[in-house]
């Protein structure tokens, strides 16, 4: 038995050793290749081919990749893949349904940076849209536009030979702006004259965020937005007011949309000593962190009586400032109308292609812990603007004539009444008294006195009303009158309300809806 067992064991070893190594290697290679082919075919036939090829393998992205692959390969026309990705990112941000979060491409990022620095390259002129016309309201002092002879009221009809017909101000400005040192040819119409070409050499333009004037002994400091250097500009003007012996100051934030939070904090520091809370930041977990003032306050502000002027266009950083001073100083007076109510803060993230993501990451609260989001700041003295600030802009192509009734007719009556014409009872009825007033306005402006409001009559009426508003700041006049003890708070509020009784004032909710709609267009 032992001999037989040994023989079998020897034969088994002999059989194992006799396998040819060459065929063993070939077999292993064939198995590897077959496995690779099966895997490749499986991925090609599968529904997630884009997910596992150099991309994030998280399952929530599989649909996104599949849609991208389908459009890239099967769409009937040529596809710009980069634009597909840009649109996907933009759609993702819009899905937040947050009016303050947005994805900006390179051009939009550049425009955003200009608002932060106050610097841009262009001709240095402010423009507005009147009906279907783009009008120069004013060239900035010392700007290329002023040096080239551009005047207020000039209508721009072409930029470098391209017609502005049908364009809005944003589209027109994009054509006018350009690289420093380059020329732009503006074709303008001045008054009733023929079109003329004016060549303007673009330059770097800086917009001051702070202006100062003295009105009846009161220092009026206006801050149009918080950009880099705003606090420095403000300090220079507050020191100038002190040198002028001014004791009462108005800090004007009307239509100030905000800007850099850091500038708001350093400007608060002009009044509030070092180490005090300027505002509170609250994260998604409800944890609050105070932002404190870091420098010494400005001693010139100690003996000043501070009045803050706000309206429905005052938002974000301007509300941060107003809320901080309101909490720190009982004697500070806030006047105007209820502010916009933006109680959230945005963070930015820049990418290598110069695009940018701006997204909301925290709430902010006043030092006393008030969250004013969608509620705004209530003024101590309510000073609503007169009716003529809310006049409906007239379309030159529309015709208004005797016998009609509409809200627009009310606006026409308010406008003419403001300019000194007798319109009778202000209501929505286009009656004979209004016809006579329109005829008088037309005669004064060398127009055919037919009593109808259309065309050139509409344009001139809007233009003269705008000039009147620029020269007569009702809210500022109300507040100066209050500061100089010409009227007490109750009296000045009654005067303001009486002058604002004919045209409906939009609610804060309506303003928020408009802002939300504008942000998604």
Q: Are 268 and 324 in contact (CB under 8 A)?
A: yes
Give the residue from 99, 85, 61 showing the smallest Cα distance to 521.
99
As a three-state string, the secondary structure of 457-488 is HHHHHHHHHHHHHHHCCHHHHHHHHHHCCCCC
Q: Which of 248, 252, 327, 387 is catalytic?
A: 327
**Tokens encoding 151:** 């005047």
The question of whether 477 is a catalytic residue gets the answer: no
**Tokens encoding 38:** 């099966």
∠ CA 185-167-419, rounded to 5°: 95
Q: Are 225 and 115 in contact (CB under 8 A)?
A: yes
Distance CA 87, CA 93 (A): 10
What are residue 185's DSSP bridge partners?
A: 199
Q: Are 257 and 225 in contact (CB under 8 A)?
A: yes
Distance CA 399, CA 81 (A): 49
Count of residues in the chain: 521
Distance CA 173, CA 114 (A): 13
Q: Are 462 and 200 in contact (CB under 8 A)?
A: no
Give the residue from 451, 427, 396, 437 showing the smallest Cα distance to 155.
396
As a three-state string, the secondary structure of 364-423 is EECCCCCCCCCCCCCCCEECCCCHHHHCCCCCCCCCECCCCECHHHHHHHHHHHHCCCCC
Q: Which of 62, 143, 209, 316 is catalytic?
A: 316
What are residue 487's DSSP bridge partners?
A: none
The question of whether 327 is a catalytic residue gets the answer: yes
Give the residue from 174, 170, 173, 165 showing the smallest Cα distance to 132.
165
Q: Are 435 and 498 in contact (CB under 8 A)?
A: no
The question of whether 342 is a catalytic residue gets the answer: yes
**Tokens encoding 341:** 């109510």
Q: Which of 62, 314, 342, 458 is catalytic?
A: 342
Distance CA 365, CA 416 (A): 44
**Tokens encoding 145:** 């536009």
The catalytic residue positions are: 316, 327, 342
């Amino acid at each position: 038995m032992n001999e037989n067992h040994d023989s079998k064991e020897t034969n088994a070893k002999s059989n194992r050793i006799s396998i040819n190594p060459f065929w063993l290697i070939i077999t292993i290679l064939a198995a590897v290749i077959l496995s690779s082919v099966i895997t490749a075919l499986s991925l090609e036939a599968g529904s997630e081919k884009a997910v596992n090829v150099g991309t994030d393998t998280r399952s929530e992205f599989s649909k996104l990749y599949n849609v991208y692959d389908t459009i890239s390969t099967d769409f009937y026309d040529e596809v710009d893949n980069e634009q597909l990705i840009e649109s996907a990112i933009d759609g993702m941000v819009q899905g937040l349904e947050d009016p303050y979060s947005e994805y900006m491409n390179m051009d939009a990022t550049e425009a955003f940076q200009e608002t932060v620095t106050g610097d841009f390259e262009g001709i240095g002129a402010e423009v507005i849209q009147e009906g279907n016309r783009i009008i120069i309201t004013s060239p900035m002092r010392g700007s290329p536009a002023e040096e080239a002879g551009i005047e207020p009221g000039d209508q721009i009809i072409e930029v470098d030979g391209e017609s502005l017909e049908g364009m809005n101000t944003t589209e027109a400005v994009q054509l006018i702006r350009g690289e420093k040192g380059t020329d732009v040819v503006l074709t303008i119409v001045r008054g009733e004259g023929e079109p003329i070409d004016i060549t303007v050499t673009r330059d770097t333009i800086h917009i001051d965020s702070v202006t100062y004037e003295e009105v009846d002994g009161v220092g009026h400091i206006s801050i149009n937005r918080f950009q880099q250097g705003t606090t420095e500009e403000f300090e220079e003007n507050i020191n100038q007011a002190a040198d002028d012996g001014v004791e009462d100051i108005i800090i004007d934030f009307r239509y100030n949309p905000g800007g850099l939070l850091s500038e708001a904090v350093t400007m608060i520091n002009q009044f509030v000593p070092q180490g005090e809370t300027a505002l509170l930041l609250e994260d998604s977990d409800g944890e609050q962190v105070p932002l404190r003032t870091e420098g010494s306050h400005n001693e010139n502000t100690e003996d000043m009586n501070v009045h803050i002027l706000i309206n429905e266009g005052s938002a974000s950083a301007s509300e941060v400032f107003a809320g901080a001073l309101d909490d720190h100083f009982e004697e500070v007076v806030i006047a105007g109308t209820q502010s916009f109510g933006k109680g959230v803060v945005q963070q930015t993230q820049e990418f290598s292609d110069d695009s940018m993501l701006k997204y909301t990451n925290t709430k902010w609260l006043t030092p006393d812990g008030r969250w004013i989001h969608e509620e705004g700041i209530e003024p101590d003295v309510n000073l609503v603007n007169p009716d003529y600030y809310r006049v409906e802009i007239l379309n030159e192509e529309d015709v208004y004539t005797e016998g009609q009734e509409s809200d627009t007719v009310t606006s026409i009556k308010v406008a003419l009444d403001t300019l000194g014409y007798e319109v009778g009872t202000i209501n929505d009825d286009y009656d004979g008294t209004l016809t006579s007033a329109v005829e008088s306005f037309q005669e004064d402006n060398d127009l055919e006195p037919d009593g109808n409001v259309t065309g050139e009559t509409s344009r001139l009426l809007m233009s003269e009303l705008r000039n009147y508003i620029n020269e007569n700041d009702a809210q500022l006049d109300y507040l100066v009158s209050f500061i100089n003890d010409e009227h007490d708070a109750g009296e000045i509020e009654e005067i303001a309300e009486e002058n604002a009784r004919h045209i409906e004032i939009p609610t804060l909710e309506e303003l928020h809806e408009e802002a939300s709609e504008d942000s998604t267009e």
